[in-house]
Amino acid sequence: MKRGTTVDATADDWTRRAAALRLAGAHHIDGSAHEGGAVFAVVSPRDGTVLAEVADAGAAEVDLAVAAARRAFDTGPWPRLAPAARGRALLRFADLVEERRADLALTVSLEMGKPVRDAYEVELRALLATLRWYGELADKLADASPHTTPEALALVAREPTGVVGAVVPWNFPLTLAGWKIAPALAAGCTVVLKPSERSPLSALLLARIATEAGLPPGVLNVVAGDGPVAGRALGLHPGVDVLAFTGSTAVGRHYLRYAADSNLKRVWLELGGKSPNIILPDAPDLDLAAATAAWGIFFNQGEMCTAPSRLLVHSAVAERITEAVVERARRLRVGDPLDPATEMGPLIGPDHLERVRGHIRGAVDAGARLRTGGEPLPAGTGGSYLRPSVLDRVPADSRLAREEVFGPVLSVHTFDDLDEAVALANATDYGLAAGLWTSDLSTAHRVSRALRAGTVWVNCYEEGDLTVPFGGMKQSGNGRDKSAHALEKYTDLKTTWIRL
């Protein structure tokens, strides 16, 4: 591949490419650009510069997008295509995304601060895998014909639900969009996607690529705007049949209310997390456990719903593990996301930086010990950079121990026996993910069953592929992304009973 188009390129290569990148800010409705009226600025957390002026959707633009999706579903070809044809369309879409991979990765890096290497190798790899997996799955699903009496024939069919409203956050703008749109499109639904107002540019580019790949007009629409206006309009819209949301628990409650106040649309929520990572003395590799704990909390600047933000470590190995994580935090390379050598970029913006620092200050005031970090990088970059932070002696009832921080901040807690560890792990309103490190097979099974979490990783963290579902328990939400189970959100079961 040519130099300058992949992460083999240098920081200068990526910077030059960024200067030449043309970031279009129009909505994508019914297969074409729609400027709208008002605009808002998308500011890069890298250096505080304005990347683009983006069309700001109000109720009128949401109406246009939903109407386009409704026409495409009610009278267009997409739901009526053979599943294999929809699958081929998704595979063509993936191929064109692959061709534009560098531009998409660069856009993600500029708009939300993800290191460009991670944007290219992780974010885009996940999007491509998702589009291809559902493209290949589209014609592998079967309806059912249950055995009944000899005088009747029963048929149970899965039919596409209709218009899907998808609302996704800024931390993984393309991965999470892919987890929504790929199964919805494979099922035969049409989609109106609202990305976060902090990271709309990559989603708008993705929609243009979808049209270039041959998706019919109205099948995938993207409107940019904030949650209180555009998100609310989508949640309340009577033309939306299903609403799929990833974001905070507080905003998820709003979407449930919007559904109750409108057409009782189904609402699927993937919400926050405060994930525990339990390390026992018999972990097969304590050094690997410590390295993974550090990687997990600092990857993507800690702006990750599954981040293992609570390290629960047995007192026998607590200091060894904590010191290893602290040392890794101090060595972590924080800086310009366009430098492929950067390991952690900036937080999403100055407001979020101050919020995260407030959590750290509050924990210290409550009695926690700051082992490293807590301070922003020296002024002069114009970006929102924070040093990776580790705190121990964190009170179990403190805000840091109970609330989602969404930043590179690790709270360390110790325990003396397994029952105490499980109780600490479950002492949260969230239930998205958890980690466990042990060499004992029985312990692995018993603790995994006891943990109230949608995903439990044993002797690893953030592993998996498209074959397994992803989602949470308790206030971490409902429904599942990924795997064949995701199609359940976007299909209706229809029974046909024929008397013979």
Residues whose CB falls within 8 Å of the CB of residue 325, separated by 6 or more in sequence, listed in order? 290, 293, 294, 311, 390, 410, 412
- The separation between the first and the last C-alpha atoms of the chain, rounded to the nearest angstrom, is 63
Helices (H) and strands (E) in the chain, counts: 16, 20
Strand-strand pairing, 50-55 and 39-43: antiparallel
**CA-to-CA distance for 74 and 86, rounded, in angstroms?**
16
Residue 322, phi then psi, degrees to nearest 5: -60, -45
**DSSP assignment letter at 212:** H
- 54 within 8 A of 62, measured Cβ to Cβ: no
Active-site amino acid positions: 270, 305
At CA 384, angle to CA 376 and CA 329, rounded to 5? 50
> SS3 string of 99-125?
HCHHHHHHHHHHHHCCCHHHHHHHHHH
The answer to whether 89 touches 214, Cβ cutoff 8 Å, is: yes
* 3-class state of residue 232 by DSSP: helix
The alpha carbon dihedral of 484, 305, 403, 398 has a sign of positive
Residues 6+ apart with CB under 8 A from 143: 155, 156, 157, 158
As a whole number of angstroms, the distance between CA 269 and CA 478 comes to: 5
Instruction: Write the single-letter amino acid at 394.
Output: V
Interacting residues of 360 by C-beta distance below 8 A, sequence separation 6+: 370, 373, 374, 389, 391, 400, 409
In this structure, are residues 348 and 303 in contact, taking their beta carbons and an 8 Å threshold?
A: yes
